[in-house]
Amino acid sequence: MKFQPFFIALLVSSFLFAQEHSHQSSRTLAFPDIPGFKTLKTDLHQHTVFSDGNVWPNIRVMEALRDNLDVISLTEHIEYQPHKEDIPHPDRNRSYEIALKEAKDHDLLLVHGSEITRQKPIGHNNAIFIADANKLLVNDAEDSFAEAKKQDAFVFWNHPAWYAQSPKGNPILSDFQKERIQKGELHGIEVINTGDYSEESLALALENNLTIMGTSDIHGLIDWDYVEKGHTRPITLVFAREKTKKSLKEALFAGRTVAVFNSLLVGKKENLVPLLNASLKLETAKYIDNTSILEVTLKNVTSSDLIFENQMPYTFYSSSPVFTVPAGSTKTLHIKTLEKKADLQIKLKALGAYIAPKEHPIVTWNIRLKE
């Protein structure tokens, strides 16, 4: 019996450690799979103290687990190393190696990446799926991109509308970018970076068949920079055939992505419409007794509020034509069909979503009503 306090203390400490390392959070991001593909939640632009970030690499892994992400990449500036006097590291792969140890016991994919950082017009570009970051550290930017291609990397242009690179706040597609695209050395572009959504970057993505990306570009803490401000981190949803690095890479090169920030969703029509269709589930559909008013309850299975506008020939009873289905919650519509229908097509414009600058997708759901 004299060992009882020891065993109690051991039990308590084990419980506390399990709680501490469970990475449970109330802020988890959730999005459904779409037909034929798994929806992978990714943040492929992040920094640690191994470039100009403020946290150790394992913290990025823990944050990703709390947010329920599937994939991350730590994309340190290979040229810009403001902490090198305190944290000297001639090996530019070190951040990835540390994070990989933290991620190995969790269901989180860690993709090796680095950020090629130069003055305009070259700007900042992330190369992911690299083999060795050290080989990207060369004087000539063209050689850095050529080396990334040699390593079969997926390369995307970071925050092209950033005012430090483009004082007018609009991206400038220079001859350098045009040549990289032509040579197959530039494959994607951020349309969402931190809290900025750039319509002009979306236009460039569509005009040049670049993969649409959204990233946090986090330097501090996700909690401080996003959660405490009432935001979720910006991410890229990647529609892959399975949760593997190989499948993820294929999907990125194929352009199967949607960028997300809070209730904003941006992507090519062929990717965004299936996501929206899968994001709303029909819970109930029935006529109110002795009326031709159809009561329809829709459930939003995502972590983003979804905003819609009625596009049906029928109006709503006691409701605005513009409405929100809150994240993880339901919305009941009362549709005045004038006469009872056996079948009905729900047709809505997704106001929080963009398939081109100022262009919202139309989504439809066909429902069969029971007698």
Q: Which CATH class is domain 280-368?
A: mainly beta
Residue 23's pLDDT is 64
**Per-residue pLDDT reduced to its tens digit, 29-52:** 999 999 999 999 999 999 999 999
Does residue 7 have a pLDDT over 80? Answer: no
Query: What are the b/e assignments for 301-333, b being 16+ CB within 10 Å?
Result: bbbbbbbbebebebeeeeeeeebbbebeeebeb
Does residue 208 have a pLDDT over 80? Answer: yes
Q: How far apart are the first and last CA of the chain?
A: 70
**What tokens were used for 313?**
């020939």
> Average pLDDT over the chain, rounded to whole?
93
**Per-residue pLDDT reduced to its tens digit, 68-110:** 999 999 999 999 999 999 999 999 999 999 999 999 999 999 9
CATH number for the domain running over 38-267: 3.20.20.140
**Per-residue pLDDT reduced to its tens digit, 272-326:** 999 999 999 999 999 999 999 999 999 999 999 999 999 999 999 988 999 999 9
Tell me if domain 38-267 and domain 280-368 are identical in fold: no
Structural domain boundaries in the chain: 38-267, 280-368
Q: What is the mean pLDDT of residues 136-146?
A: 97
Does residue 356 have a pLDDT over 70? Answer: yes
**What tokens were used for 216?**
């946090």
